[in-house]
Amino acid sequence: MNEALTGRNFIPGIENFEELITEKVIYIDKTSYLEDLIRSSHVALILRPRRFGKTLTMSMMSCFLEMNYQNPEDRSRPERLFKGLDVSRNKKFCDEYMGRFPVISISFKDVEGNTFEDAVDMIVGIFAELAAKFEFLAKKEELDTVFLRRIRDCNNGIVPVFNSDGTFVRSIAALIKLFVRNLTICLNQAFNKAPILLIDEYDVPLQKAQAAGYYDKMLRIIRGILSSALKTNSSISKAFVTGCLRIAHQSIFTGVNNFDEYGVNDKIYSGFIGLTKDETVSLLKMHGMENRLPDVIEWYDGYNFGGTGMLCPWSVLKFLSRALHPENDPAVFQPENYWANSSGNDIIDICMKHPGGKDLDRLQNLLEGKTEEIALREFASCPDITSNTDFDTFATLMLHTGYLTVTEDAVPSARNRAVVKIPTKEVLECFAEKAETIFSKSNPEWLEKAMTLRDALLSGDADQAQDIMNAMLRRFISVRDTSHEYYYHMFLSGALSMTSEEDIDVISQIEKGDGCPDIVIDNERNREAVILELKKSDGRKYAQLEKWANDALDQIRTNAYDRDFKDRKYRKITCFGISFFGKECLALKMPDDPS
């Protein structure tokens, strides 16, 4: 933390470095990484989860490197912006790189659309903004800058991008593919210095396209842009690309030489993007909130990037900005889940509905704070995430996007494998909240199963009830320990409570007879009741399950749980002893009373 940054404001979410510095917004100084990164890389891909500051990092690099195009010797802008930051002390490096290069900075983070045409229009818009920025190149007669005018004509609707039948106008497809390459050539010729290319969130258009069903078309666009700009292009000095997903080199960066990749498992530049623990401590001390460190660690600490413990800056800064608000007391303001709502969590929804029993057991282990070893997948394309996707693909995707992290000091059994866990309380809460939705009345499929189970119990059909419960158990995920009976009580009472109606009550642990049965279904209108006593078996073999189910029936008899219903002259009282082990259960029905 730099002393020059004390007294600055907290405004989380600013991704423009110049705005951040000018408005005196808090900035965690990462500029000490610049020399090694810039000197040692030709084309570098840096992969980090969402909300860790990739876009701000690229903006910072642009501000440091970009020249004054009207007066290339004027470096007052970067000198002002980086005054007091770590890199400013490195005079030799600053003299060589600060404000010395043309820079082409592109962010694909907002490229999306329900259709391929919508997404392409957004890319055209981004390129049109670049054309406007570098419009001064058109005044240089020796340069071929027709492509700048044509892309702006496309953006303004003067030149159509698509034919009337929806097909790509071939010349426009070529224009988009070659736009960045042509711009690098013009800048190189104009300033006699090859520009530096910065591309932020390269994979977002591909992820969005996969979800919307036009992935192959978008892949051809993105691959064409990146390959033409980076492959054997002597008109670039260096290129830096960021993203979340590791898509196979041959799929996107075909033929790009001198290519370096720095992912979440790499030690190199592990602390470059995000907050280290030391930076977090310094940030809290700077604002007199060091006493809140345990809360911040509990909620937001847990990421491991190449052996460096990291925290998500979005969450930490969001907490501090709220805690330091004049209307709040920073000493007692409670941390919240800021990461959950910063982007979509659709992958959790799909993953938690995954049908594979073994895969659900692995996910259950993660939800209980345990670790799982996974095979790391190198994606040939953006994964088509469906309910049939294998767990290792899910887990690799969740690792890249921040839902999982590599466990520190755990040694995997082989290469290209990793031991992972859910990183933070914040992320765990995302899973728990999604579970509450999936296994609730708001999910029609789950509600239908619960209603069918209730009716089977009321009708006294032990076999059907057992089959339904086993099917539900194989699907049910909760942040619970299955070694305890309460896990099963929570599962069954939660499912059945959704089925309560005006004349049918589902009651948990109400006093009946000489004790409290686990669950009671009281159909007062039809004068019928169901009494459920639950036990956790010590094994999954039938004899063990049967023993504990019979023990449950004995408890019902001994404590006369049915006495109140008999006194109220109920016409039908059905009692079940149910034993559980893992994701299995056995339901035994008490024989009818011959009296």
Instruction: Quote the pLDDT of residue 2.
Output: 44
Copy the structure tokens of residue 162: 């698509």
560 alpha-carbon distance from chain centroid: 51
Mean pLDDT of 318-345: 84
Instruction: Quote the pLDDT of residue 393.
Output: 84
Greater confidence, 135 or 166?
135
At CB < 8 A and 24+ separation, what contacts does 137-140 make? Answer: 137/186, 137/187, 137/190, 140/190
Copy the structure tokens of residue 269: 């530049």
In 3D space, the residue among 127, 238, 217 whose CA is nearest the CA of residue 166 turns out to be 217
Instruction: Quote the pLDDT of residue 79.
Output: 97
pLDDT tens profile 462-515: 999 999 999 998 888 776 666 678 889 989 999 999 999 888 999 988 888 888
Three-class SS state of 420: strand
Mean pLDDT of 57-73: 97
Amino acid identity of residue 462, one-letter, is: A
Instruction: Quote the pLDDT of residue 350.
Output: 63
In 3D space, the residue among 251, 186, 189, 192 whose CA is nearest the CA of residue 223 turns out to be 251
Residues whose CB is less than 8 angstroms from the CB of residue 371 and which lie 6 or more positions away in sequence, other chains included: 365, 407, 410, 419, 420, 421
Burial class (CB in 10 A: 0-12, 13-18, 19+), 172: buried
Q: In this model, does residue 237 exceed pLDDT 70?
A: yes
Global pTM value: 0.83
φ, ψ at 207 (rounded to 5°): -60, -45
Length of the chain: 595
Q: What is the C-alpha to C-alpha distance for residues 407 and 418, in angstroms, rounded to an integer?
A: 8
* Secondary structure element (H or E) that encloses residue 284, with its range: helix 277-286
Copy the structure tokens of residue 249: 């080199």
- Outline where DSSP puts E strands in 280-422: 301-305, 308-311, 372-375, 405-406, 417-421
Residue linked to tokens 């097909």: 167
Instruction: Quote the pLDDT of residue 343.
Output: 57
526 alpha-carbon distance from chain centroid: 49
Tell me the pLDDT of the chain averaged across its residues.
89
Q: Are 550 and 577 in contact (CB under 8 A)?
A: yes
For residue 107, CA distances in Å to 202, 346, 560 come to: 8, 23, 70
Q: What is the C-alpha to C-alpha distance for residues 381 and 413, in angstroms, rounded to an integer?
A: 26
Q: What is the C-alpha to C-alpha distance for residues 208 and 113, in angstroms, rounded to an integer?
A: 7
Give the model's confidence band at 415: pLDDT under 50 very low, under 70 low, under 90 confident, else very high: confident
Q: Residues of the chain with pLDDT > 70: what percent?
A: 92
DSSP letter assigned to residue 570:
-
pLDDT tens profile 347-394: 666 666 654 556 777 888 888 889 999 998 877 666 666 666 788 888
Half-sphere exposure of 537 (CA within 13 A, CB side): 23
Q: What is the C-alpha to C-alpha distance for residues 391 and 363, in angstroms, rounded to an integer?
A: 9
Amino acid identity of residue 343, one-letter, is: S
Q: What is the C-alpha to C-alpha distance for residues 37 and 406, in angstroms, rounded to an integer?
A: 24
DSSP letter assigned to residue 520:
E
Q: What does the radius of gyration of the chain's CA atoms come to, in whole angstroms?
A: 30
Q: What is the C-alpha to C-alpha distance for residues 106 and 127, in angstroms, rounded to an integer?
A: 8
- Angle at 412 (CA atoms; ends 408, 413), nearest 5 degrees: 160
Q: What is the C-alpha to C-alpha distance for residues 177 and 169, in angstroms, rounded to an integer?
A: 12
Mean pLDDT of 245-260: 78
Three-class SS state of 344: coil
Q: Are 277 and 301 in contact (CB under 8 A)?
A: yes
- Outline where DSSP puts E strands in 189-234: 196-200
Instruction: Quote the pLDDT of residue 3.
Output: 41
Mean pLDDT of 164-184: 94
Copy the structure tokens of residue 254: 């075909």
In 3D space, the residue among 355, 284, 278, 360 whose CA is nearest the CA of residue 317 turns out to be 284
Instruction: Quote the pLDDT of residue 372.
Output: 94
Q: What is the C-alpha to C-alpha distance for residues 314 and 415, in angstroms, rounded to an integer?
A: 32
Residues whose CB is less than 8 angstroms from the CB of residue 509 and which lie 6 or more positions away in sequence, other chains included: 516, 517, 518, 519
Greater confidence, 353 or 335?
335
pLDDT tens profile 102-124: 999 999 999 999 999 999 999 99
Q: What is the C-alpha to C-alpha distance for residues 546 and 535, in angstroms, rounded to an integer?
A: 10
Greater confidence, 382 or 445?
445
Q: In this model, does residue 131 exceed pLDDT 70?
A: yes
Amino acid identity of residue 165, one-letter, is: D
Q: In this model, does residue 345 exceed pLDDT 90?
A: no
Give the model's confidence band at 39: pLDDT under 50 very low, under 70 low, under 90 confident, else very high: very high
| Range of weakest confidence among 139-148, 211-220, 245-254, 360-369 | 245-254
Dihedral of the CA atoms 468, 471, 472, 478 (nearest 10)? 150
Q: In this model, does residue 595 exceed pLDDT 60?
A: no
Instruction: Quote the pLDDT of residue 527.
Output: 94
Residue linked to tokens 């890249």: 400
Q: What is the C-alpha to C-alpha distance for residues 15 and 223, in angstroms, rounded to an integer?
A: 26
